[in-house]
Amino acid sequence: MVVARGGRGGRGNEHFKTPRMNAPNFAEKGELGGERWIQLELKLIADVGLVGVPNAGKSTLLAAVSNAKPKIADYPFTTVVPNLGVCDLFVDEASKGQIPSSVSSLVLADIPGLLEGAHVGVGLGMAFLRHIQRCRVLIHVIRGDSPDPLGDFQAINQELALFNPRLANKTQVVDGDGGDGIDPRKTRGRLPFEILKDPAYPGQFRVAGHRIERIVQMTNWAYYGSTLRFQRIMEAHGISKALENVGAKQGDLVLIGDHEFDFWDPKNRWMANLGMADV
């Protein structure tokens, strides 16, 4: 590949040698060549890329199948740079015809966790997404105790497609994991929460709970998919039903953290999304 073509080289003093001047003390300068500014991007070359939301368990998986020693902890963004590991393959008799004999190992890349908006640079997403382009196969790690595993899966795939449409067609294997530093046997099912109401403020309800308040604070409401994901979380963890049980009616005010929401009766929720709340 020629980035900038150089000019013709100048002639040395040997070229100007004559019988009367055996040792010329001058030479030509070279011809000016092409000039341009270029930007180079380093992209890791790996057979398998591990992708998922922050703290999904990607580093734990890499450490389990290779000798890599990534930092592992039970808080998001433990991994801030991609990690590489090599996994030796032990092919049994049944798989010999499916795997070329020349392949004896796989290189795995642990890509730091992605956020909604990564394709436009949120959370250094563009710096991480470029490494995924060179991976042959993706292992999509899903956190087992996530409030909305399906929403996490769809959000990451949306970011891959928005960054580069070709990534949407890349082969994926889905792996359900307990999360980095988390014992799956100790994870709780539903989010803990409490419904508070004050008789002085009829028609207002507050949902209190550290985890549900954190979900609300971390949700990017600019995405329609984020709103649908939040609705699924409210229903899956019984929060919508609990509000209904304490008397919440359509149009009542629901407070979660610093955010305010309108409560919609379950039978009319989808009509409301279509602009038909009064049907």
* Predicted confidence (pLDDT) per residue in 156-185, tens digit: 888 778 877 887 788 888 887 654 444 444
Please provide residue 267's backbone torsions phi and psi, each rounded to the nearest 5 degrees: -75, -15
CA distances from 276 to 50, 160, 224, 267, 271 (A): 42, 34, 18, 12, 5
Per-residue pLDDT of 53-86, as tens digits, reads 777 778 888 888 887 776 666 555 555 567 888 8
Q: How confident is the model at residue 254 (pLDDT cuts 50, 70, 90)?
A: very high
Give just the sign of the alpha carbon dihedral 18, 22, 28, 30: positive
- The continuous run of DSSP H or E covering 261 comes out as strand 259-262
Lowest mean pLDDT among 102-106, 118-122, 201-205, 234-238: 118-122
- Per-residue pLDDT at 116: 59
SS3 135: coil
Whole-angstrom Cα distance, residue 121 to residue 232?
A: 27
Cα separation of 38 and 40, whole Å? 6
Residue 206 pLDDT more than 90? yes
- Mean pLDDT score of the chain, rounded to an integer? 75
